[in-house]
C-alpha cells in the first residue's frame, strides 16, 4: 500500500516550467509538530518574561517601601536613644538626690534657729523630708524601661519578612508618637530632677555650714550665753558665748565646714581661732592651749582645730565658744543638735 503524500506545484511567471515537490504525510505531521512545539516554547518564554518584569516592578516597590520603613525606624531609634540618655541622666541625678536625702535623715536637731538665732533662707528640718518630686519620678522610670524593652524587637526583626507593610508602617508611626510623648515627659522629669538636685544641694551646703555639733565632745557646760556675774569683777555683764569646761589639751573640733578666717592672740580671749562658715555665720574658739590650723585653711565638720587651754582672761581650763551671725553674737545652744 502506497504512503499518502502531498505534492506542491511551483510555477514562475517568467517561464512555463512547473516544478513539483512531493512531501510525505509523515513529514508534514513532523514539521507541524515542530512548529507547534516552537510556538508553545515561545509563548512560555514570553509569559515568563512578562512575569519577571512584573516581579521586578514589585521588587522595586518593596525595596522602596523597605527603605522608607528603615528611615522611619532609624528616626524612631534615634529618638529612643535620646530618651534612654535622658532617663540615664535623670536616674543618676535621682540617685544623687536620694543619697543626699538619706545622708542627714537620721539626725534630729532640737532646733535650728530661734528669734535670736541664725536667720538662714532654708530650714534645715526640711532637708530631712524626701523630695516630693522623686516619688513619681522613680515610679515613672520603671514603666518607661518596660516600654523600651518591648520596643527592642524592632532591632532584631528583619524588614524582609513578609509582614503587611502598611501595618508595619502604622505600628512605627504609633511608636513614634509614643516616643515623642516620652521625650516630652523625660524633659519634664529631667527638669524636676535637676531642680530637686539643686535645691537639695543648697540645703546640704547650708547644713554643712551650720555649727550644729558640740565642739568639745567630752566637756560640760559651765557658763551659759547671756547675762551673768563676771567671775573677776562680780558685775552683771553680757556673756557673748558658751563656756565648756574640759581637761587641759582636750581636742576641739569644728562643728561645721568652713574656712579659717583668724588665728592669733587677743586680749581676754587668749589664743583665738575664728572660722567663717558662710551665710554670714562665724564661730570663735578662745583660751586654746594649742592651735592646729592656719589662716585660710579649709575646714570640714569634725576636724580637730585646737586644744582646750587657759590662755587669756580665764578662770580655768575651758573653751569659750561663740557663734556670730552677721557680726552679732547669738546663743550657740540654738544650733547644737546633741
Q: What angle (nearest 5°) sits at the alpha carbon of residue 93, between those of residues 89 and 96? A: 145
User: Does residue 169 have a pLDDT over 70?
Assistant: no
Strands 258-266 and 270-278: antiparallel
84/71 Cα distance (integer angstroms): 20
pLDDT in tens, 92-137: 777 777 776 666 554 444 443 343 343 444 433 333 333 333 333 4
Model confidence at 338, pLDDT cuts 50, 70, 90, reads: low
Q: Give me the mean pLDDT over the 296-316 stretch.
A: 94
Task: With a cut of 50, say whether residue 140 has pLDDT above it.
Answer: no
Residue 276 maps to which CATH number? 2.70.70.10
Q: Residue 214 domain-assigned? A: no
- Which residue in this structure is represented by grid cell 530631712? 128
Residue 21 forms part of a structural domain: yes
- Mean pLDDT to the nearest integer, 207-231: 89
Q: Give a yes or no: residue 63 inside a domain.
A: no
User: Which residue is it, cell 554670714?
Assistant: 280
**Residue 171 to residue 83: CA distance in whole angstroms:** 19
Model-level pTM? 0.51
201 and 256, same domain (yes or no): no
Residue 139 has pLDDT above 60, yes or no: no
- Can you say whether the dihedral through the CA atoms of 42, 44, 45, 47 is positive or negative? positive
Helix (H), strand (E), coil (C) string for the chain: CCCCEEEEEEEECCEEEEEEEEEEHHHHHHHHHHHHHHHHHHHHHHHHHHHHHHHHHHHHHHHHHHHHHHHHHHHHHHHHHHHHHHHHHHHHHHHHHHHHHHHCCCCCCCCCCCCCCCCCCCCHHHHHCCCCCHHHHHHHHHHHHHHHHHHCHHHHCCCCCCCCHHHHHHHHHHHHHHHHHHHHHHHHHHHHHHHHHHHHHHHHHHHHCCCCCCCCCCCEEEECCEEEECCCCCCEEEECCEEEECCCCCEEECCCCEEEEEEEEECCCEEEEEEEEECCEEEEEECCCEECCCCCCEECCCCEEEECECCCCCCCCEEEEEEEECCEEECHHHCCCC
C-alpha dihedral (65, 66, 72, 75), degrees to nearest 10 = -150
Q: What is the pLDDT of residue 100?
A: 65
Residues 73 and 18 in one domain: no
Question: Pick the residue with more confidence: 195 or 164?
Answer: 195
**What per-residue confidence (pLDDT) applies to 299?**
94
Residues 21 and 84 in one domain: no
Task: Based on the fold, state whether residues 256 and 174 are members of the same structural domain.
Answer: no
Q: What is the mean pLDDT of residues 325-329?
A: 93
Residue 246 within a domain: yes
* 262/274 Cα distance (integer angstroms): 5
Question: What pLDDT, on a 0 to 100 scale, did the predictor assign at position 175?
Answer: 73
User: By residue range, what is the domain housing residue 276?
Assistant: 220-334
Predicted local confidence at residue 117, as pLDDT: 42
Count CA atoms within 13 Å of residue 213 on its CB side. 19
Per the structure, the count of domains in the chain is 3
Say whether both 99 and 32 belong to one domain. Answer: no
pLDDT of residue 321: 96
In a domain, 62, yes or no: no
Show the cell assigned to 154.
524592632
Tell me what percent of the residues of the chain surpass a pLDDT of 70: 77
Residues 129 and 202 in one domain: yes
Residues 238 and 128 in one domain: no
**Same domain, residue pair 199 and 236:** no
Does residue 53 contact residue 131 with C-beta atoms inside 8 Å?
A: no
State which of 208, 240, 255 marks the end of a domain.
208
The pLDDT score that the predictor gives to residue 137 is: 40
∠ CA 301-252-264, nearest 5°, is 100
Q: Let me know whether 192 and 226 are in one domain.
A: no
Please compute the mean of the pLDDT values over residues 34-39 and round it to a whole number.
Answer: 91
**How far, in Å, CA of 94 to CA of 87, rounded?**
10
Residue 91 lies in a domain: yes
Model confidence over 258-278: pLDDT tens digits?
Answer: 999 999 999 899 999 999 999
On whether residue 237 sits in a domain, the answer given is yes
* Interacting residues of 296 by C-beta distance below 8 A, sequence separation 6+: 259, 260
Whether residues 90 and 181 share a domain: the answer is: yes
Residue 90 belongs to some domain of the structure? yes
Give pLDDT, residue 2.
59
Compute the average pLDDT of residues 12-22: 76
**What's the mean per-residue pLDDT of the chain?**
77
Domain boundary among 175, 208, 241: 208
The reply to whether 236 and 292 lie within a common domain is yes
Domain closes at, from 173, 208, 243? 208
Are 198 and 312 members of one domain?
no
Q: How far, in Å, CA of 33 to CA of 31, rounded?
A: 5
Amino acid at each position: 500500500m502506497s504512503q499518502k503524500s502531498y505534492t506542491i506545484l511551483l510555477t514562475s511567471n517568467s517561464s512555463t516550467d512547473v516544478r513539483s515537490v512531493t512531501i510525505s504525510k509523515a513529514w508534514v505531521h513532523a514539521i507541524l509538530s515542530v512548529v507547534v512545539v516552537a510556538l508553545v516554547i515561545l509563548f512560555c518564554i514570553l509569559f515568563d518574561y512578562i512575569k519577571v518584569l512584573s516581579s521586578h516592578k514589585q521588587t522595586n516597590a518593596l525595596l522602596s517601601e523597605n527603605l522608607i520603613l528603615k528611615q522611619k525606624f532609624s528616626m524612631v531609634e534615634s529618638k529612643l536613644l535620646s530618651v534612654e540618655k535622658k532617663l540615664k541622666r535623670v536616674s543618676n541625678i535621682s540617685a544623687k538626690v536620694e543619697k543626699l536625702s538619706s545622708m542627714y535623715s537620721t539626725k534630729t536637731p532640737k532646733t535650728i534657729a530661734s528669734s535670736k538665732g541664725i536667720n538662714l533662707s532654708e530650714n534645715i528640718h526640711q532637708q530631712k523630708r524626701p523630695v516630693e518630686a522623686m516619688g513619681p519620678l522613680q515610679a515613672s522610670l520603671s514603666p518607661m524601661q518596660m516600654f523600651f524593652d518591648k520596643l527592642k524587637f524592632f532591632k532584631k526583626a528583619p524588614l524582609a519578612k513578609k509582614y503587611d507593610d502598611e501595618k508595619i508602617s502604622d505600628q512605627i508611626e504609633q511608636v513614634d508618637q509614643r516616643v515623642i510623648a516620652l521625650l516630652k515627659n523625660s524633659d519634664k522629669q529631667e527638669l524636676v530632677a535637676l531642680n530637686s538636685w539643686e535645691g537639695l544641694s543648697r540645703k546640704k551646703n547650708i547644713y554643712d555650714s551650720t555649727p550644729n555639733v558640740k565642739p568639745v565632745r567630752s566637756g560640760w557646760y559651765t557658763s551659759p550665753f547671756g547675762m551673768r556675774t563676771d567671775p573677776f569683777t562680780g558685775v552683771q555683764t553680757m556673756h557673748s558665748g558658751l563656756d565648756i569646761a574640759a581637761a587641759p589639751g582636750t581636742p576641739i573640733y569644728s562643728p561645721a565646714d568652713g574656712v579659717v578666717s583668724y588665728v592669733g592672740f587677743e586680749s581676754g580671749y587668749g589664743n583665738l581661732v575664728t572660722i567663717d562658715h558662710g551665710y554670714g555665720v562665724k564661730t570663735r574658739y578662745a583660751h586654746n592651749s594649742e592651735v592646729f590650723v592656719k589662716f585660710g585653711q579649709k575646714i570640714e565638720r569634725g576636724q580637730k582645730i585646737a586644744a582646750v587651754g587657759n590662755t587669756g582672761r580665764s578662770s580655768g581650763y575651758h573653751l569659750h565658744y561663740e557663734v556670730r551671725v552677721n557680726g552679732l553674737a547669738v546663743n550657740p545652744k540654738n544650733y547644737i543638735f546633741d
